[in-house]
Amino acid sequence: MQALSEPLSPFVPWSSEDRTPLHEAEAATPAASRQPLLVDLLRDPTAVTERLLDPSRLQSLVLGSAGIIAGCTSFFAAAASVARGREGWWGSAALTSLNVLMSLAASLGPIYATSILLAARVPLARLVAALLAATATGSLLLAGLASPLYLLTRLNPEWAGPLMLTSSFLLAGAAAGARIHRLLSHMAETVTGKALGEAAAKLSAEDAFRVGILARISWMMLAFTLALGFWAFNALG
């Protein structure tokens, strides 16, 4: 079990609670009655931050966000394939969701390394959960755009459909990028506030600058790995 704990940094004084493996933390604290994850992702970034900072809820956040990503991206890819008259829509659906999850995994290393270089290191479990939660928010928007994509593709598959497909990915990517920035900023404010004995504290100009760079690099790396994955696997081709 000790191998599952993240090694301590000599520069970051973490508590033993921060190092607790996800499955142990989940079992340690009984789940209270709260809003469903889907509602928090759509309406309340502050509630998502609370989940990120609560070791007993990290595992459910990771698994729930991954499930939402897989379901929403599969639905969107299936709608795009059916609209173009493709019979093997299930292949595109499975490949698209797999591509998104693999892109998240591929971008995690560079993002984590960037956080170390910026002296804004996020505990790995929280970083994974934050990236998944932000991507899940974008995936929900993507699933909502499946209907107009289907209609426009059926009406005009030459230009209206491809234009809507591109616009859908751009809108979902913008939503995910904005949510990454919001989650990382609010998480940093909450952690800083706890260190000062407050609920939350405004970040200094230097800290806000470093967190902002980390959020932008996170969005850029995720967008790059996603684009590379879709080009390599041609999931929607």
CA angle (135, 138, 141) in 5-degree steps: 155
Residue from 120, 112, 125 nearest 208 by CA: 120
- Answer whether residue 25 shows pLDDT above 50: no
Give the pLDDT of residue 193. Answer: 79
Mean pLDDT over 17-35 rounds to 51
- Answer whether residue 27 shows pLDDT above 50: no
- Answer whether residue 9 shows pLDDT above 70: no
pLDDT category at 234 given cuts 50, 70, 90 is: confident
Tally the residues of the chain: 237
Q: Greater confidence, 200 or 227?
A: 227
What tokens appear for 5 in the block?
Answer: 């704990």
Give the dihedral of Cα atoms 218, 68, 54, 199; nearest 10 deg. Answer: 70
Orientation angle between helical segments 205-233 and 160-195, nearest 10 degrees: 150
What tokens appear for 198 in the block?
Answer: 């407050």
Helix spans in 84-204 (H): 89-117, 124-144, 146-155, 160-195
Q: Are 205 and 74 in contact (CB under 8 A)?
A: no
Where is average pLDDT lowest: 32-41, 105-114, 174-183?
32-41
List pLDDT tens digits, range 159-198.
999 999 999 999 999 999 999 999 999 988 888 877 666 6
pTM of the model: 0.83
Give the distance from CA 149 to its chain's centroid.
Answer: 23
